[in-house]
Amino acid sequence: MSKSKCDTAALGSNMIKPQSGLSLVELMIALALSATLILGIFTVYMDSSKTTRVGESLARVQESGRIGLEIMSREVRMAGYQGCSDSYTVPLNVVANNPPPSLTPASAGDGVYFYNSGLMGWQVTTATQTSWDAGTDFENIGVIEDDALPGSDVLMVQRARPLTATIKTVGMTNTGGQIPVDDPDGLFGASAAFSSGSLLMIASCEFADVFRLTNNPSGANKALAHAATANASNDLSVAYAGDEDAEIYALESTVFFVADTGRVDDQGNSISALYRARNNFPNSATPSFQREELVEGVEALKVQYGLRTNASSNTIQYVDASGVSAADWKNVVVVRVGMLVSASGNVLEQNDSQAYELPGTVFVANNPSAGQQVHAADRRLRKAFVSTLDIRNRRCGEFKQFGTTNQWEWETANNNGGDGDPCN
């Protein structure tokens, strides 16, 4: 064979054969494996996304519950505070014009005991939606009366808050004289936090007066006037001086309640919230409150009050607001506060059918029995928060009149029952 023929034969044997491609069976197997892999990845993603949503909702609910209880606990524990003076034995001498009903003397010259109005509560029902606030400091105030959700409670706390301004040692020249103060933070003045008409309290360990400021102090030597133009009298109980434990306080009256925000979540669920309304104490017969939203997602606020029913044994009985008479608010020594909080958006796989226990009631999804209330049967995540709060400005024992005199004394309890009473 010639060399050229051998080279041609070798070249032909080394040529690349054409590729035949995938068969239909191979293609179907590849598609099936790919689909299974994609489905697995999608399932993992969906489960992870669902877990993330539930975790985020739980975190929001827990945060809302803790914040709500913390804000309320700070106020409740200080209910009735009036400095170093005892709210049970040192009455407030209210000379200010247009005080709120809770601080209005029964007759001219009478003192007002802060223990009676330091803490008060109400229950709101559908039947009492427009009447439950009769006689309160916020009667007919629409942002409270009309908006407070039926089935929830309303709690009011009154207290004195110390100011950074201090009374100068030289003090007042007489009971009608102006009050000289050092005001490092500029609290008093025409454009300051407290201007003419503001309601203030001055108190030592033996006396306490509530008056209206009648000037706009300015300059280096500020002095607070309490003239009869905005007060029943310009005379206070004593001529206060800074070296006699006397201090200047702002009066605070705070109302906590639950109301609809008017907003809805991405699933169309209505969003409610815990609100706080503060009394502006205007020099007017018409009250004025400033309302602010505190915590979103609070569906209900329920409160029970611990009454000391037996002074000798410090026995505590927890009752709803309807079980506390007007004369018994001073005997409330412990408060149980509960909130039902939900997260926005449907994160549960099924409608919420759980029961949630709050002070005095249980919230169920359907068919409530006596003493139970209904929560929405939707897929929102919920959690109940309950806290028992001691009222620091409450005494042990029983407050009794001394014989037939106008003096009062304490009959101290001689046995502690270990029942959550702050006196234990």
Q: How confident is the model at residue 114 (pLDDT cuts 50, 70, 90)?
A: confident
Q: Residue 407: what pLDDT? A: 46
Q: Residue 168: what pLDDT? A: 94
Distances (CA, A) of 103 to 98, 157, 158, 253: 9, 13, 10, 11
Q: Residue 421: what pLDDT? A: 40
Taking only the tens place, the pLDDT of each residue in 278-313 is 999 999 988 899 999 999 999 999 999 999 877 666
Residues 6+ apart with CB under 8 A from 69: 337, 339, 385, 387
Look at residues 314, 271, 279 and name the one whose alpha carbon lies nearest to residue 296.
Answer: 271
User: Is the model's pLDDT at 32 over the cut of 70?
Assistant: yes
How far is it, in rounded angstroms, from Cα 237 to Cα 252? 21
**Mean pLDDT of the residues in the chain:** 85
User: Is the model's pLDDT at 216 over the cut of 80?
Assistant: yes
Distances (CA, A) of 334 to 46, 305, 319, 390: 47, 6, 11, 5
How far is it, in rounded angstroms, from Cα 359 to Cα 121? 14
Query: Which sign does the torsion angle of CA 73, 271, 55, 375 carry?
Result: positive
How far is it, in rounded angstroms, from Cα 212 to Cα 236? 11
- Identify whether the C-beta of residue 302 lies closer than 8 Å to the C-beta of residue 338: yes
Q: Residue 244: what pLDDT? A: 80
Residues 6+ apart with CB under 8 A from 114: 80, 82, 87, 92, 158
User: Is the model's pLDDT at 410 over the cut of 60?
Assistant: no
Taking only the tens place, the pLDDT of each residue in 154-187 is 999 999 999 999 999 999 999 999 999 999 999 9
User: Is the model's pLDDT at 8 over the cut of 80?
Assistant: no
User: Is the model's pLDDT at 93 over the cut of 90?
Assistant: yes
Residues 6+ apart with CB under 8 A from 195: 188, 189, 213, 216
Q: How confident is the model at residue 45 (pLDDT cuts 50, 70, 90)?
A: low
Output 169 or 21, whichever has higher pLDDT.
169
Q: What is the mean pLDDT of residues 404-413?
A: 48
Q: What is the mean pLDDT of residues 342-368?
A: 91
Q: How confident is the model at residue 315 (pLDDT cuts 50, 70, 90)?
A: confident
The DSSP annotation for 178-206 comes to -EEEE-TT--BSTTSSB-TT-EEEEE-SS
How far is it, in rounded angstroms, from Cα 228 to Cα 251? 20
What's at 367, amino acid-wise?
Answer: N
User: Is the model's pLDDT at 137 over the cut of 80?
Assistant: yes
Q: Residue 418: what pLDDT? A: 40
Output 43 or 139, whichever has higher pLDDT.
139
Q: Residue 47: what pLDDT? A: 64
Q: What is the mean pLDDT of residues 205-232?
A: 95
How far is it, in rounded angstroms, from Cα 331 to Cα 58? 38
- Region of poorest pLDDT, from 109-118, 126-135, 410-419: 410-419
In the sheet where 222-224 sits, what is the strand order? 166-167, 179-182, 222-224
User: Is the model's pLDDT at 229 over the cut of 60?
Assistant: yes
Distances (CA, A) of 321 to 133, 154, 162, 302, 306: 13, 9, 29, 10, 10
Q: What is the mean pLDDT of residues 397-407?
A: 50
* Strand partners for 357: 362
Could you give the 3-state DSSP secondary structure of residue 287? coil
Output 15 or 345, whichever has higher pLDDT.
345
Q: What is the mean pLDDT of residues 374-393?
A: 91
Place of tokens 């007060």: 231
Q: Residue 174: what pLDDT? A: 96
Q: How confident is the model at residue 339 (pLDDT cuts 50, 70, 90)?
A: very high
Q: Residue 285: what pLDDT? A: 85
Q: How confident is the model at residue 35 (pLDDT cuts 50, 70, 90)?
A: confident
User: Is the model's pLDDT at 411 over the cut of 90?
Assistant: no
Q: Residue 121: what pLDDT? A: 95
% of the chain beyond a pLDDT of 70: 84
User: Is the model's pLDDT at 401 over the cut of 60?
Assistant: no
Q: What is the mean pLDDT of residues 90-117?
A: 88
- Identify whether the C-beta of residue 304 lies closer than 8 Å to the C-beta of residue 336: yes
Could you give the 3-state DSSP secondary structure of residue 211? strand
User: Is the model's pLDDT at 349 over the cut of 60?
Assistant: yes
CB atoms within 10 A of CB 293: 12
